[in-house]
Each structure stands twice: as C-alpha cells, then as structure tokens.
C-alpha cells in the first residue's frame, strides 16, 4: 500500500511505518509531504493549546474582577489549573513563550475572553476594557491575588 493511501486509510499504521523508516534510515520510503504537513499541524496545535488555556484564564480573571459577588472555589480552581497548564506547556516547549510576549497574539485571546466573560456574567461587553488590563506576569503569577489590575 502506498504512503498516501495508508496515510488516508490508516493514520495510526502510517505513523508507525514512518517512525520505523526514520529509525532505519530508509529516507526514500518516507512520506515527506505528509510528514511535513503533520509536523506543521503539531506545532500549530501546541500554539492553539496554550492560547485556549490563556483564553479561559483571562475570562475567569475578568469574571473574578467584574462579578465579585459570584466568586467561587470553582473559579479559583480554574484560574490555578489554567496557570498550571500554561506553565506545563512552557516547560515542555519553551519556544511557546514567544507568543505570550506578542501583544497581538495575546490580544486575540483577550478579545475572545471578553466575549465569553460577557456571556457568562450577562454583563454588557462594553464594561470590559478594550485592552488587556493584566500583564503577562500578573496573568501567570500563581501567588497573585487573582491578578487584580
């Protein structure tokens, strides 16, 4: 069965076959086109993973700040867990740090967090700051009192 067919019909088997070709140095048998695609996809998925945790964390920080009467242990746990997950991502892949210092990248996830916070708090979108009111240090600080600006 050709690499392209195997890739489309049995992805798991394709990955095993490609790994074996790499181990044995069978370069001519590698499915280079699909390997490149999968590697690029893997990189994008790590970026999206840390972005997803950042979005949830920012949403909860906003809820914590703008709906203090509803603060709960669940919110505290979500904030802590998201911080831990972001730290785990950074420990596993230190180069992801570059996204957290990219203001446009952070802004993308902050905008989504505002949208989600407005829905969950049932407060108007306009009450939330247009720009992220938290520094990355505040966002990630596990000892921060929920990163009040």
Q: Is the pLDDT of residue 147 over 60?
A: no
% of the chain with per-residue pLDDT over 70? 96
pTM for the whole thing? 0.82
Domain ranges of the chain: 55-140
Interval 69-78: pLDDT, tens: 999 899 999 9
Selected residue with higher pLDDT from 108 and 148: 108
Interval 96-143: pLDDT, tens: 999 999 999 999 999 999 999 999 999 999 999 999 999 999 999 988
Interval 46-67: pLDDT, tens: 999 999 999 999 999 999 999 9
Tokens representing residue 77 in the block: 């746990």
What is the residue-averaged pLDDT of the chain? Answer: 93
What was the pLDDT predicted at 34?
95
What was the pLDDT predicted at 149?
44
In angstroms, the first-to-last Cα distance of the chain is: 59
Please state, in angstroms and rounded to a whole number, the distance separating the CA atoms of residues 67 and 127: 11
70, containing H or E segment: none
% of the chain with per-residue pLDDT over 90? 87
- According to the 3-state scheme, what is the secondary structure of 3-53? HHHHHHHCHHHHHHHHHHHHHHCCHHHCCHHHHHHHHHHHHHHHHHHHHHH
What was the pLDDT predicted at 144?
77
């Amino acid at each position: 069965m050709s690499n392209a067919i195997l890739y489309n019909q049995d992805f798991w088997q394709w990955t095993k076959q490609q790994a074996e070709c790499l181990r044995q140095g069978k370069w001519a048998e590698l499915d280079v086109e699909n390997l490149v695609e999968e590697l690029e996809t893997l990189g994008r998925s790590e970026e999206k993973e840390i972005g997803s945790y950042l979005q949830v964390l920012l949403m909860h920080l906003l809820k914590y700040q703008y709906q203090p009467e509803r603060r709960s242990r669940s919110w505290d746990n979500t904030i802590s867990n998201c911080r831990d997950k972001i730290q785990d991502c950074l420990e596993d892949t230190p180069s992801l740090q570059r996204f957290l210092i990219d203001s446009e990248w952070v802004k993308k996830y902050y905008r989504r967090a505002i949208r989600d916070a407005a829905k969950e708090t049932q407060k108007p979108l306009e009450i939330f700051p247009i720009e992220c009111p938290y520094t990355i240090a505040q966002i990630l600080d596990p000892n921060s009192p929920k990163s009040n600006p």
